[in-house]
Structure 1
Amino acid sequence: MSRDEKRGLVCPSYKKMSVYRQCKVIELPRSSYYFKPKGESLFNLQVMNAIDRKFLDCPFYGVERMTDYLRQDVGYFVGQKRVRRLYKLMNLKTIHPKKNLSKANKADYKFPYLLRNLKVERPAQVWQADITYIPMFKGFMYMFAIIDVYSRKIMGWDVSNTMNAEWCRDVLVDTIQRHGKPEIFNTDQGSQFTSEVFVKALQKNEVKISMDGKGRALDNIYIERFWGSLKREKIYLNPPNGGVDLYKQVKDYVHFYNTERRHKSLGRITPDEKFYQEIKNVS
């Protein structure tokens, strides 16, 4: 069955199964169902790619410092207003207090940070999650991923051209169904994670919820390191040509990251080896 034929089988109005689950059942990358080029100019896309590369090395760069870098070092004549809007569009969070980026609504849920001085000593003790901007040859998309802190294994992920709470919830629920639930789930205070639909999914599974302090991106350091590895080792070397190509590249890299990429911090073994080694010992 062709991709177009599969796309025609997806029914957004079917309430008993989300679009995410329907795509999973018929083996259709969600990105190929949803993908539409984002409505940004070529110049803005070039600026966004320059911001993304610099931000990987300098996550403490706020709007003012990034604007200076773009003007003086790259040669892009941009103002702070444009850079601030692009930061928000790219879901960038600096590691110092900032003004209302990924601001949660007042009515949304807030939870304390539970990882301070916590010794992580087993799989599924703590999962972390985040959303990042992924540049492509033309346009961009977002990626949501969940990582097991103990083993560094990527437990679940997806790409989309939007970053709403329902999308994150669907990936979370699917990941729990496949791997079981964690004891603690940690995120930042972005609006997706403080929303009722996301929080209720965790509470329904009796998972403890932990949230970073504002301006503390490094509280979620392990998923941030994965973003850097993915972009430097895969995305920047061969910019994806559309949503389907992006999905395939990310799928290939996650498999490589989990099963082949050895981590110095893990004693030169892979995340899968660390994860399943401990699961076997427990059982």
Structure 2
Amino acid sequence: MDVNDKRVLRLCRKLNIKSTIKYANNGCTRQSANPQYIAKNILNREFIAGTPNKKWLTDVTEFHYYAGIEKHKISMSAILDLYDRRIVSYVIRDHNNNALVFDTFDAALEASPNAHLIFHSDRGFQYTNRVFRAKLEATGMTQSMSKVAKCIDNGPMEGLWGIIKREWYYGKRFTSREAIVEMIENYIEYYNKQRLQRNLGVFAPIEKNTNYIYKQHKNCQWNSPLAKKLNILSIVYLTGNGSSMPGSNIVNSHKSVIADSVPYFLMGRISVIS
């Protein structure tokens, strides 16, 4: 169904529905004081990818909660796929350190073990670390970094943080760590599976990804082993849980076959909360 923007505006006014406020950006992450490695901006603001697992963006952000009058913070690291704008993996921790970023990368690699792509970030200390550079080289990925103080070089990733915070975070007071972690988990579930995006053809990220999978395999015989695997995966997607399904052992036994195009996190949330 096509709906004109002006009609949406008129109905919102009639129902007194107000949009969330876009807050001013507080600035970009500055370059690490002693970077061990700096990569060129290979991505060069080309934020379109023709297939999944070709271009990933990553970044770290903070959320705050209160315990009485004391203000606390947690850090969240995430990886975004530029093809379908899905959150491939994320990690939530109390501290912004190397382990936060390294574990996020490991979770994404578990989701897509055969991904050989451009991996783009800012120049934060975790990404300029030699250990992280070695992890990328070991998987055949090409590292790309934003220029100094150029947030727009990582625009879609910065935009994701803004979307999460405007829609479910700003204007609310979270009074426990558990409450804010639950909010983040629920939002990512909603964002990946339900939140429609105009630039994806009015699909949610997982819908966009699933459409790609079926287009790739639309000519296969539907009684073939591959088709049966795809059928199982569609059930996994609809139920959100593959571990308790009859036949989930079939999916698990063929991860390597479908890893290139099927997001493994559909079979269970890829996140680390600690």
TM-score of the superposed pair, with normalisation by structure 1: 0.63
Cα distance between partner residues in 2 of 1:108 and 1:207: 18
- The 1:201/1:177 distance shift into structure 2, 3 A limit, reads same
Contact 1:187–1:210 under 8 Å retained in 2: yes
Query: Contact between 2:193 and 2:207, CA under 8 Å: does it hold in 1?
Result: yes
Match for residue 121 of structure 2 among 179, 187, 202: 187
Residue 58 and residue 201 in structure 1: after superposition, are their counterparts in 2 closer, same or farther (change >3 A)?
A: same
Question: C-alpha offsets along residues 137-158 of structure 1, whole Å, 9 cap, x if unaligned?
Answer: 3322111111001111011111
State the match for 1:230 in structure 2.
Answer: 164
For the 8 Å contact 1:169–1:197, the answer to whether it is kept is no
Return 268-277 or 104-113, whichever deviates more: 104-113
Instruction: Spell out, residue by residue over 1:253-275, the C-alpha distance to the aligned partner (whole angstroms, 9 max, x if none).
Output: 00000001000111111011112
Q: Aligned AA for 1:104?
A: S
Q: 1 CA distance for matches of 2:116 and 2:206?
A: 16
CA distance, structure 1, for counterparts of residue 177 and residue 130 of structure 2: 29
Cα distance in 1, alignment partners of residues 216 and 45 from structure 2: 24
Aligned to 1:4: none
Counterpart check, 1:256 vs 2:218: no
Matched AA of 1:223: M
Bigger CA radius of gyration: 2
Residue in structure 2 matched with residue 210 of structure 1 by the alignment: 144
Aligned to 2:103: 170
Corresponding residue of 1:87: none
Q: CA deviation at 1:103?
A: 3.0
Answer yes or no: is 1:129 the counterpart of 2:63.
no
TM-score, with structure 2 as normaliser: 0.65
> Partner amino acid for 1:158?
V
Contact 2:35 2:125 in 1 (8 A): no
Distance 2:144 2:180 in 1: 30
Runs (5+) with no aligned partner, structure 2: 1-19, 218-274
Equivalent AA in structure 1 for residue 24 of structure 2: C
Partners in 2 of 1:216 and 1:196 — Cα distance? 23
What does the per-residue CA deviation read over 1:60-90, in whole Å, with 9 as the maximum and x for residues that have no partner?
A: x6xxxxxxxxxxxxxxxxxxxxxxxxxxxxx
8 Å contact 1:186–1:209 — kept in the other structure?
yes
Select the structure with the greater relative contact order (CA < 8 A; seq sep ≥ 6).
2
Q: Which residue of 2 aligns with 1:34?
A: none
What is residue 31 of structure 1 aligned with on the other side? Answer: none
Structure 2 residue 38 is the aligned partner of structure 1 residue 110: yes
Residue identity matched to 1:134: F
Counterpart code for 2:31? K
SS at match of 1:136: strand
Pairwise CA RMSD of aligned residues? 2.1
Q: Secondary structure of the equivalent of 2:34?
A: coil
- Hey, what's the Cα distance between the residues in 2 that align with 1:276 and 1:199? 31
* Equivalent residue pairs, number: 192
Any idea what SS the aligned residue of 1:139 has? strand
- Are the counterparts in 1 of residues 60 and 75 from structure 2 also a CA contact under 8 Å? yes
In 2: Cα distance, 1:127 partner to 1:267 partner: 20
The match for 1:149 is: 82
Residue 179 of structure 1, CA deviation: 2.7
- Over residues 1-40 of structure 1, what are the superposed CA-to-partner deviations in whole Å (9 max), with x where a residue is unaligned? xxxxxxxxxxxxxxxxxxxxxxxxxxxxxxxxxxxxxxxx
Deviates more, 1:213-222 or 1:101-110: 101-110
Q: In the alignment, which residue of structure 2 is the partner of 1:58?
A: 24
